[in-house]
Amino acid sequence: MAEHFVCNISELADGSVRIFEGEGLEIGVIHHSGTVYAYQNLCPHQGGPACEGLRIPQVVDVIGKGGVFVGQTFDEDDMHIVCPWHGYEYHLSSGEHVCNAALKLRKFDVETREGGIYVKI
Ligand code: FES
């Protein structure tokens, strides 16, 4: 397993993504709410650049009295990565598809130290 320096944390604003190549793989490094994640930039559906898609929170139904549907809101603690090719959604925290845990983005360990971001491939 090799460790790769990606960039300084100050160069990756919260909410942004950086794509880099390491060990022959294209990897997306995503900074979200103070945590940095790294996934292979390869959607298990048909190979799209999943890490380059939008990030949106989980949509949650709001159920009122008597079990009546009232509306919907967002769960900001469950951010999703949306693959730009066909819209498959993956949990940012785990890389698992939101409906089928058997579909997963390949995740890599990330370490931030001394202001730098390092990914182990
Ligand atoms: S390739 Fe990602 S959703 Fe189809």
> pLDDT tens, position by position, for the chain (121 residues)?
899 999 999 999 999 999 999 999 999 999 999 999 999 999 999 999 999 999 999 999 999 999 999 999 999 999 999 999 999 999 999 999 999 999 999 999 999 999 999 999 9
Q: Ligand 1 centroid vs 39 CA: distance in angstroms?
A: 15
For ligand 1, whether the C-beta of 85 sits within 6 Å is yes
> For residue 104, what is the DSSP state?
B
Is the pTM higher than 0.95? The answer reads: no
What whole-number distance in Å separates Cα of residue 58 and Cα of residue 82?
11
Token pair for 104? 């997963």
Spell out the domain ranges in the chain. Answer: 3-54+81-120
Q: Ligand 1 centroid vs 45 CA: distance in angstroms?
A: 5
Fold designation for 3-54+81-120: Rieske Iron-sulfur Protein (2.102.10)
Phi and psi angles of residue 10, each rounded to the nearest 5 degrees, phi first:
-70, -15
Long-range contacts, stretch 68-76, CB < 8 angstroms, 24+ apart: none
Ligand 1, atom 4: closest residue by C-alpha: 86
For ligand 1, whether the C-beta of 42 sits within 6 Å is no
